[in-house]
A and B are shown apart, each in its own frame.
Chain A
């Protein structure tokens, strides 16, 4: 009987061990996703909304960093062109249901290369459920985004 209880105890222990390992493997990894929302740019003291802007969240292999590409953004209403801007090297940290985005100052990529004119500073952001929000300074222009995940 003792032997029987011992086997059951080992089996239970093994199961608990397996379950714990499985839990570690299945920790949610951020996935590539596109969000659609509004980018608000404050330029020369007045704010300007870019509606229906797509932001692509592109995680790295390890999932601990990502790049964010903002498509067809305009920094001032008079700008005759829109441009795609990519913010590289954004750190990703999963905190429960929340994914926290952060980075130090970084030179964004635009028009085929680095674009120091709109250096990114004060980047803060998070993703909760289907929502994404972040704020930063593009050069001297405070900019923020709030959007919803676009269905595939």
Chain B
């Protein structure tokens, strides 16, 4: 599927919307009262930002059980599926990067998920997914500059019934899950096993097998007429392969083939307690959470059969959050204020040793050194079979914020003004050490040890102001128009993955100085100052409309975002081995997003489309000027076109769903020299539904469209991750 199909899909989408407008809208009435955003004082329908809501029925019929699956269905949202569960790259509105801080905030039942490494997980028992698009900094603070994704899980009070399912599919993928509800508890669990979709031809084994278990227990209690308690305990464990990257050379993509271990293990848990206290005058909403994550990533960093270098990154992080919101109890009042306080502290102990293996020592270290030493002088040798670069970090980050947002209603108008003051800080203790044994021929008669240690502390802190102004006009009952100006920011941080390059650089300098040999043109290296990167911030100017009439809804918006210090994941020049976050000077995103939904009777459909032109305004990377170029990894378009119909036959029914979704074109590097064309993927599902159970057949990427989900360079070599191939599933779902 490529550009032609994309055009066909776009046309079909617009035809669908035109057809919708010609159709009497007197069938099913869409309800929005059950959906709320975590902190807003007004209902989702009156928020002056674009909002997408995906309810449980659509999650089920769309086979959506991970955040990645929401890509394209939510306009502009692109969460490519590659790497491993810690990857969690998220792109929206020209923002996003694959490392460090996320570009959207993730909330589960109003509890923020702090660690991006925990953003990719399987869920079960989700009642609805709500995505607020655009910077939501005033209420949600750091890292909500692309939007906020809020998951509402099943509640004991909901009409849902206990259920369980069993699913089997391509690559021995087996999923099983259950949700059990009683008067005050909901217990959800889901387990997935998969052999993987890509083989590592070197090992003759799957590259990306997966085993994961997610558990959640939700307890809801009315302590009194005024006090409501909700406790949500979520935990997950996964063990998987990963990094199914194939070498791209001379226009040919080779299969995945690497020799060292690649995989990821994670144990995560979030315990959140929410207290709602209601009086006649105000509602106090207090949320506190404890979050824990321990993970272990092993990566063959050269991604080839050669023994060049490996990375093992282990983290144990613990965090605590606390938040208090106060708002008015009278929802009908013309002034709706929200005032709150938020704080968190996160502590992360990380160990990230990089081991240079023999071929890495030969090709990356010795080759570079000896290339600059004339033969008549001599040559350097290193006798070690492996050179470990030990890197231990203690990372701390904290934030404290005060915020207020007031919504004023006057006739058909609603005005919102808000301001948030964030105090943000971070600290890194680093302790890095490497040793090698070298000998210079012909002058040295024996090996000599050379040890380099690099220890120190870095920190940063500062204040951030996040204002918001918006106006919403109810032109008629179904039609609302809005305009919003808001600011968002993404926290800065530390480049832990670049320390092996810094150490390698220091080692070579120390060794050559010890030898008394000085290169006339030292290789371009990574300076220690590169270990920090700055916060990113953006101003968003947006206007849009929202139309709701019975079974039809339409949303459209256009935006302009001015981004300062855009965070990018880049590869240092030369033969460096790490990757790091850097700040581009300035960029801007210009875009439009639209979504249509129509659900007359047994028919339902959704059309989502986003266009984003994200370009650097000022970005000089030291070698090249990228001003005017597209921001890499950001698709210019995302599209989702889905429809379904329920055929009813007495005591049972047949539910048929199909969707066409994809994105593109997108550019893989800052220079825009390599791009990915538009790819669309056809998914489908057929379900035979009885009152107590259903059996279904599902298919993903039915046309087996080939494309790439990720591109990168490692030590000058290019690699691609391919999109998953055609997948079939069969499943049984039972309502208890």
Q: What is the interface of chain A, defined by CB distance below 8 A to chain B?
A: 71-72, 79-85, 110-115, 117
**Top 6 A-B pairs, shortest CB-CB distance:** A84-B516, A113-B443, A112-B444, A111-B443, A113-B444, A111-B440
Tell me whether B520 and A82 are in contact (CB under 8 A): yes
Chain A residues with Cβ below 8 Å from B374 are 79-81
CA distance A71 to B516 in the complex (A): 8
Q: Indicate whether A80 sits within 8 Å of B520 (C-beta atoms), given known contacts A112-B444, A114-B443.
A: yes
Let me know if A81 and B440 touch, CB within 8 A: no
A-B contact pairs, 8 of them (CB 8 A): A80-B374, A81-B518, A83-B517, A84-B516, A112-B439, A112-B514, A112-B515, A113-B442
Q: How large is the interface on B (under 10, 10 to 19, 20 to 34, 35 or more residues)?
A: 20 to 34
Partner of A81, one of B373, B444, B445: B373
A76 closest partner in B (C-beta): B374
Q: How far is the CA of A111 from the CA of B444 in the complex (A)?
A: 7
The complex places the Cα of A27 from the Cα of B125 at a distance, in Å, of: 94
Q: Total contacts A to B, CB within 8 angstroms?
A: 53
Q: Tell me which of B439, B448, B518, B521 contacts A83 (CB under 8 A).
A: B518
B314 to chain A, nearest CB (A): 37
Residues of A within 8 A of B377 (CB): 81, 83, 111
Bound-state CA distance A80–B373 (Å) is 7
Q: Check B519 against A111 for contact (C-beta < 8 Å).
A: no
Identity of the chain A residue whose Cβ is nearest the Cβ of B373 in the assembled complex: A81
Task: Judge if B372 is at the interface, Cβ distance under 8 Å.
Answer: yes
**B378, CB-defined interface residue at 8 Å:** yes
| Closest B residue, CB atoms, query A115 | B443
**Cross-chain contact A112 with B518 (CB below 8 angstroms):** no
Docked-complex contact A80 and B440, CB < 8 angstroms = no
From A81, A110, A113, give the contact of B519 (CB < 8 A).
Answer: A81
Residues of A within 8 A of B372 (CB): 80-81
- B520 near A110: Cβ-Cβ < 8 Å: no
Q: What residues on B are CB-neighbors of A71 within 8 Å?
A: 516
Cβ < 8 Å to A, chain B residues 497-545: 514-521
* A50–B92 alpha-carbon span in the complex (Å): 57
Interface string of B432-473 (1 = CB under 8 A from A): 000000011011110010000000000000000000000000
Chain A interface SS verdict (over half): strand
Chain B residue with minimal CB distance to A118? B377
* Residues of chain B within 8 A of A84, CB atoms compared: 516-517
B518–A82 touching, CB < 8 Å: yes
B520 cross-chain contacts in A, Cβ below 8 A:
80-82
Most chain B CB within a 10 A radius of its CB, from A80, A114, A115, A117: A80
In the assembled complex, how far is the CB of residue B522 from the closest CB belonging to chain A, in whole angstroms? 10
B445 touches A111 (CB 8 A): no
Least Cβ distance of B252 to chain A in Å? 36
Name the CB-closest residue of B to A109. Answer: B443
Alpha-carbon distance A72/B513, docked complex (angstroms):
10
Known: A80-B520, A111-B440. 5 other contacts (CB 8 A): A80-B373, A83-B516, A85-B516, A111-B516, A115-B443
Would you give the 0/1 interface string for B634-658, flagging 1 where the beta carbon is closer than 8 Å to chain A?
A: 0000000000000000000000000
Chain A residue at minimum C-beta to C-beta distance from B445:
A113
Q: By the criterion CB–CB under 8 Å, are A113 and B517 in contact?
A: no
Beta-carbon nearest neighbor of B516 in chain A: A84
A84 to chain B, nearest CB (A): 3
Q: Which residues of A contact B443 (CB under 8 A)?
A: 110-115
A71 to B517, alpha carbons, bound, how many Å?
Answer: 9
Expressed in whole angstroms, the Cα–Cα distance for A117 and B375 within the complex equals 13
Chain B: minimal CB distance from A39 (Å): 15
Indicate if the CB atoms of B378 and A111 lie closer than 8 Å: yes
> From B511, which residue of chain A is reached at the shortest CB distance?
A112
Nearest-neighbour CB distance to chain B for A108, whole angstroms, equals: 10
Task: Give A25 to B436 CA distance when docked, in angstroms.
Answer: 48
Chain A residues lying within 8 Å of B439, measured Cβ to Cβ, are 112
CB distance from B508 to the nearest CB of A (A): 13
Question: With A and B bound together, what is the CA distance between A82 and B374 in angstroms?
Answer: 11
Most chain-A Cβ atoms within 10 A of its Cβ — which of B439, B442, B443, B514? Answer: B443
Whether the Cβ atoms of B440 and A112 lie closer than 8 Å is yes
Closest to B376 in A: A117
Q: Is A112 a contact partner of B448 (Cβ separation < 8 A)?
A: yes
How many Å from the CB of B514 to the closest CB on chain A? 7
Query: How many Å lie between the Cα of A146 and that of B372 in the bound state?
Result: 29
How far is A84 from B517 in the complex, measured between Cα atoms in Å?
7
Min Cβ gap B281→A in Å is: 77
A83 to B443, CA, bound (A): 13
A83 to chain B, nearest CB (A): 5
Proximity bits, B23-62, A CB within 8 Å = 1, else 0: 0000000000000000000000000000000000000000
> Closest chain B residue to A70 by CB distance?
B516
B194-231 interface with A by 8 A CB criterion: none
